Structures are given as C-alpha cells and as structure tokens.
Homo-oligomer: A and B are copies of this chain.
Amino acid sequence: MTDLAGFYQNWRRGRALEPIPLDSPVDVQDLQTPALLIDLDVFEANLRKMQAYLDSVGIALRAHTKMHKCPIVARKQVEAGARGVCAAKITEAEVMADGGIEDILITSPLASVDKLNRFIALRRESPGVKVVVDTVQTAAALNERAAAEGFTAEVFVDVDPGLGRTGIAPGVSAVELVETVADASHLGFAGLQMYAGHCMHIEGHAARQQKYTRVMAPGRETLDLLADRGIEVPVFSGGGTGTYNMEATLGLVNELQAGSYAFMDIEYRDIGGESSNQFLDFEVSLFVLATAISQPQQRLITVDAGFKSMASDKMPPQFRDVEGVVFHWGGDEHGIVQLNNPSREIGLGNKLPLLTPHCDPTVNLHDYYFPYRDGQVTEIWPITARGFSL
C-alpha cells in the first residue's frame, strides 16, 4: 500500500544510477538482441570535439540529457568540460541530480500545480536546478513557493523563436516577463532561453544558417530592449547540434543546448555539413544490434527489431556495414530487409548493427546501453531516466 506521492517517490528512487560491471569482458556478438550499443571511441571523440570547438569560440556547453537519459553519460559530458546539462522534463532533472549533476536547467515550462511543487521539492535538495518560465502567472506561482521555502529560484525566461511550441513572444512580452522575474523577491533572472528546434534539421549548411539567422533576429531585438532598460542577460541559452558552428558568427547564444552530437543518427547525418552533403562533424556512436531471424523469401531477411526498438517518427534505420539492402519496417518487433545487392551475406542468426533514425526516442525505448571498445563490453549502463516523461 502506498499513497500517490510515495508511488512517485519509489518510481524515482528505484532507478539504477551507476554502471553494472561485468566480471569478464563480453564480445558484442554475444549480446542478446535487440541491444543498444555505444561505440566508446567514437562517443568520446564526439565529446572532445564539441567541447574543444566550443572552448575555442568561448561558448559554454549545456548538454541536453533528454537525448541520452543517463547520468553516466552526463557525468562524462561535465568531466569533458560542459557547464551543466539540460533536462526536458522534471523527472529527467531529478535523475541527473540523483546522479551527481549540479547545474541542471529544465527546458520545458511547468504549468500545473503538481509539477511546480515537484520542482520546488527538487530545488530544495539541489540548489543548482533551474527551470524556464514563459508566463507571468507561473513566475508568480514559483516566486510564492520559493518565498515560502526561503530560497531564490533561478529561472530562465523562455522565448518562442516562432516555433510555436513553448516560450513567450519575443520583444515587449518577453521584456515584461523578464522584469517580472527580475523584480520578484525570490526569483533570480538567470538568462534567456530561445531554442529554435525547427532549424536544427534544415538540409544544407547555408540554408540552415540563413533560416537560423532570420529566426533568431527577434532574440537580438529582445536583448536590445532589455539593455535599454538596463537589464543584463547573463546567459543566452539555445542552439543545438545542427547550429553549433553558426553560433559564434551569430553572436547571440553563449550557452549551447546540444544533445545529439554525442550519439548522432541518420536524421542529423542527412542535414549536410559545411563542406559535404552529409553532416559528418560528429560520427555515429549509437547502434541497435539486431539478429536475422527469418528468411521467408529468397530476397527478404527479417531482423528482430522494429518500432519497439528504434524510433519510427522519421526515416527507417540503415545497416552500419551492409550496403545494397533496404530496411522496411516490419511492425512493432521486426524489420524486413530487402536484399537487392547486399555487400555482404546476411545469414540466419547473424547479429548486425543498425544506425538509428532519430537517437532521442530510440534511446527512450531501451533499458540499458551496452558500451564497447575493441568489440568488448566490460560494463552495462542503465538508461536511468528512460520513460521519465513526467
């Protein structure tokens, strides 16, 4: 028997936060499938490359944990030099706090009483946790609760870059909200958030940069209006993997909210880079290992991974090292592989890595990562915040 609060508490506290060490290394081929793999050499190179680049242009990294849902990964990002992390939801922030991350920004506004109370409870135990606000009402409600607790809650004002998802309109409305926050007795104005999610996947570097510059222009105007009023904006948080090398030129974002760069996926690879029609600045380090389980027709072979193992909101997956084949979704549990002119034979029982279409919702389907180096897995990483969409 439990009450609802106790249930939510158990749900959170029951989560594993640390790697599970294996008593002897396991070959990737000995994993049961579907299994979510991380190629550690590629993953670590991605972390180093992003951090080195951002250091060189003086932009801080606030790595987005909605992508990987894993405090082990978050700690590696912070160890590599990230200022802190983002969380899309409060439950993700709780897991990151439990996992030892101090500086956490919740990037979606909270609008219900239960979630505001949950934020305050988290802020009580983790003073570095921040949240965005996009209405005067929520700012007032947060201030009242923070006052009752006797602390100052740091908040970012979320500004809508025309995406129409969250955020207050730029310009006067945003300025009014910033003033409300700045004037509130128990709120600290930490900065602006303006995340242009609709620009990240525009194909072609030039086209992406052009639209991104246009979309972010109202952010500049808002900054100017605030400057006119003598309000300093300590941090301008936004951008992502798709715009990481455009921010320095734009000169607006000084804290990058990148997530996908660590794992990458087909969707991001296909947006194109500065000097290539593929975006290869970061390499794919995340794979779903699948097994060929049936060959009902000569030119078709079926693998044991479908909608329940890989995100289905975008394109289908692709094999890492087999060409001349086409992956068709075969429903919830299967993929049907059309063997046009396969570059290698695929036999029943073979285990093959697949590039995932979209990393974030793929990760959210799995309980564990199987990180490997030189083909060997030595520990397993729980995906602690998997399914934590609250």
Contact = CB atoms under 8 A, between A and B. Distances in A.
A293 B330 contact: no
Contacts of A109: 293-294
A334 B304 contact: no
A387 B386 CA distance: 10
Nearest to A33: B390
A30 B115 CA distance: 11
Contact of A294 (B33, B165, B334): B165
A296 B167 CA distance: 6
Given A1-B21, A23-B3, A66-B332, A112 B364 contact: no
Contact of A135 (B11, B111, B332, B348): B348
Nearest to A348: B111
B108 A308 contact: no
Interface in A1-58: 1-4, 7-8, 11, 20-24, 26, 30-34
A192 B273 CA distance: 52
A134 B292 CA distance: 13
A153 interface: no
B113 A349 contact: yes
Interface string A245-282: 00000000000000000000000000000000000000
Nearest to A296: B160
12 contacts: A2-B22, A33-B112, A110-B293, A112-B349, A135-B294, A304-B389, A312-B313, A332-B360, A364-B365, A365-B387, A365-B389, A386-B387
A257 to B, nearest CB: 13
Interface in A133-167: 134-135, 137, 160, 163-167
A134 B348 CA distance: 11
